[in-house]
Amino acid sequence: MNFEQLGHIIRERRNELSYSQEVLSDKSDVAIKTIHSIELGKANPSLKTLDKVLGVLGLELIVVSKKD
Amino acid sequence: MNFEQLGHIIRERRNELSYSQEVLSDKSDVAIKTIHSIELGKANPSLKTLDKVLGVLGLELIVVSKKD
DNA sequence: TTTTAATAAGTATTATATTGCCGAATCATT
DNA sequence: AATGATTCGGCAATATAATACTTATTAAAA
């Protein structure tokens, strides 16, 4: 789970819901600037920020054993 | 996945490996203060910090659909 | 009890995430 | 082409995560 992958997942889900970044920003109470940085993989968000964004998208983080 | 649950998962896995917080700190290159704050659910870590800690423990974050 | 290892927590400093404001770039629609 | 909506990105200010240092607490072992 690197930052680029995470950004793609968020962007794809956002597009599925037909939300603009601005709408997602409003719903999640996270700045649009932060959202597009996350989507581009250029951010290192805190868990709280990431949870707010994922929550609006019906997604969540879980911890699993790493398979290598 | 709230902060308390995350802390418990990390602590349990750390104990399974018989790592002290100090050893986990050294291996992950994350300050011991940060680690015990995370374990107590009193931290809001960045993804990068959390990934470093989880990586040493053989764990990783993934995004899944929220079941409600 | 005394000693030692481990964990918890306060304070201060540094690093960086988050934000707002702004303009530029991209893309679709007319 | 022109208009409008959306996304990208720079810059500065603010909020806060991460760290080092120190002391206290807890727990276990001698």
DSSP, collapsed to helix, strand or coil, labels residue A59 as strand
> With 80 as the cut, is the pLDDT of residue B68 above it?
no
CATH code of B10's domain? 1.10.260.40
Minimum-distance residue to D10 (CA–C1'): A33
**Nearest C-alpha in A relative to B61:** A63
Strand partners, B46: A46
Task: Give chain A positions within 8 Å (CB) of B54.
Answer: 63, 66
Q: How far is B22 from chain A (nearest CA, A)?
A: 22
Whether B67 is in a domain gets the answer no
- To 10 degrees, the CA torsion angle through B67, B42, B47, A21? 60
- Please report the pLDDT score of residue A67 as a whole number: 85
Q: Is residue B17 part of a domain?
A: yes
Quote the minimal CA–CA distance from B53 to chain A in Å. Answer: 12
Work out whether the CA dihedral B46, B6, B13, A59 comes out positive or negative: negative
- Residue-wise pLDDT tens digits, B5-39: 999 999 999 999 999 999 999 999 999 999 999 99
Say which DSSP state A46 is in.
B
Domain span at B17? 3-57
Query: Does residue B20 belong to any structural domain of this protein?
Result: yes
Query: How many distinct structural domains can be found in chain B?
Result: 1
**Is residue B64 domain-resident?**
no
pLDDT tens digits, one per residue of A5-39: 999 999 999 999 999 999 999 999 999 999 999 99
Residue A4: per-residue pLDDT: 95
Residue A68 resides in a domain: no
pLDDT band at A1 (very low <50, low <70, confident <90, very high): confident
> H/E element holding B64?
strand B59-65
Interchain CB distance below 8 Å, B66 and A55: yes
* Residue A45 in domain: yes
- Burial category of A49 from C-beta neighbours within 10 Å (exposed 0-12, middle 13-18, buried 19 and up): buried
Residues 6+ apart with CB under 8 A from A27: A19, A56
Predicted TM-score of the model (pTM): 0.91
